[in-house]
A and B are shown apart, each in its own frame.
Chain A
């Protein structure tokens, strides 16, 4: 073998070694960029799934948001900006219509009308954790309530448009009673158990004078 022949073979080997090194580094880069982790460890990037109609679901660290093809949020579930866990349903205009969540750690269900007003709610009170269910009119005034009151007695209330109670049916352990009031909040009719222990009924005038009482 001549010296030029050996020089030629070595030069080819050197070129090939450089090319192979570049090739190996390229393969390594592809492997790092696309490799499947065996147990899919936590990832930081949100996951977005988009349908053919452009509706989408986005999973991020605080939960999931689903949008319709128009891009409006229609439902979400997770932890909101205030740190409250919950789930929401939105109508086609994007208005929130139904929400179940924990507001300052208190559970509630709220139903909203098309103008965004709260119309029906089910919740535990913030002070005693007593259960309540209320209907509100379109002015936001409570018109009907079912709840456990401060004395831990169950009660059914009907309110006027001024939000004042017009009638309530309540149950103490000794006996239940029904009270009806006029718009000045004067009691006009009582039926059921009295604090004296008597059970009966009476009707009063606007000044509180008893007009009729039995037995």
Chain B
């Protein structure tokens, strides 16, 4: 067959062939990039700076971030946080449906505490260690005044202490190594009743008036 001159057609076919080769090269390059950057479905430890959130149909969600776990209810209110809080303290916090913090277990300046709060955000009950590392249990009234405490006194004696609305001590029941003792005070802070071991080693009981005069004692 004799060659036929189709100069335009020849140029267009040649252009198409070049374009096809170029597109194939781009395709292979993109594929290579995908293999390098794709998330492997079954890969083990993944390190990422982004938080991971799981959400259900109700809108409730859990978010795992670098600082811990935050669980929100369907309204989006934070209800549980477990992790390191904004103050750098390891903490487990629980919030009520209104969003108020009601219960918190955390390390406060390195000291473990569990605190219960009322709906006004007042601290009402607490168990933990004191700054010396001794056990401490406290009940507060609605004004956040201390009313009852289990603690070790400065002497080291274990004590149950009851306080008035003025946060002053009214009664304490304690023991040293020799014998236990119960002390009752009036609103002015005067000792009025004493039962148990005295510092001289005797054991007995006395009742005093507001001036400190013994009204009765035995033996």
Contacts of B127 in A (CB 8 A): 109, 122, 133
B73 touches which one: A40, A83, A132, A200 (CB < 8 A)? A83
The smallest beta-carbon distance between B207 and chain A, in angstroms, is: 5
Q: What mask results when residues 146 to 161 of chain B are scored 1 for a CB within 8 Å of chain A, else 0?
A: 0110100000000010
Give the residues from 59 to 110 in chain A that come closer than 8 angstroms, CB to CB, to chain B. Answer: 59-64, 77-79, 83, 85-87, 100-102, 105-109
Contacts of A155 in B (CB 8 A): 148, 162
B103 touches which one: A64, A107, A174, A215 (CB < 8 A)? A107
The smallest beta-carbon distance between A130 and chain B, in angstroms, is: 7
Contacts of B92 in A (CB 8 A): 77, 87, 100
Contacts of A173 in B (CB 8 A): 164-166, 170, 187
A55 at the interface (CB under 8 A from B): no
A39 to B49 CA separation, bound complex (whole angstroms): 9
Q: Are A175 and B170 in contact (CB under 8 A)?
A: yes
Contacts of A180 in B (CB 8 A): none
* Interface size range of chain B in the complex: 35 or more
A153 to B142 CA separation, bound complex (whole angstroms): 11
A77 to B78 CA separation, bound complex (whole angstroms): 13
Q: Are B20 and A101 in contact (CB under 8 A)?
A: no
Q: Are A192 and B173 in contact (CB under 8 A)?
A: no
Question: Closest residue of chain A to B9, judged by CB?
Answer: A6
B84 at the interface (CB under 8 A from A): no
Give the residues from 130 to 189 in chain B that come closer than 8 angstroms, CB to CB, to chain A. Answer: 137, 139-142, 147-148, 150, 160, 162-166, 170-171, 173, 182, 184-187
Contacts of B85 in A (CB 8 A): none
Contacts of A132 in B (CB 8 A): 125
A43 at the interface (CB under 8 A from B): yes
Contacts of B170 in A (CB 8 A): 171-173, 175-176
The smallest beta-carbon distance between B98 and chain A, in angstroms, is: 8
Given A61-B60, A77-B69, A124-B118, A85 and B125 touching (CB < 8 A)?
no
A31 at the interface (CB under 8 A from B): yes
Q: Are B207 and A215 in contact (CB under 8 A)?
A: yes
Q: Are A27 and B34 in contact (CB under 8 A)?
A: yes
Residue contacts A-B, CB under 8 angstroms, 7 given? A2-B4, A30-B34, A35-B39, A60-B56, A63-B71, A124-B125, A152-B141
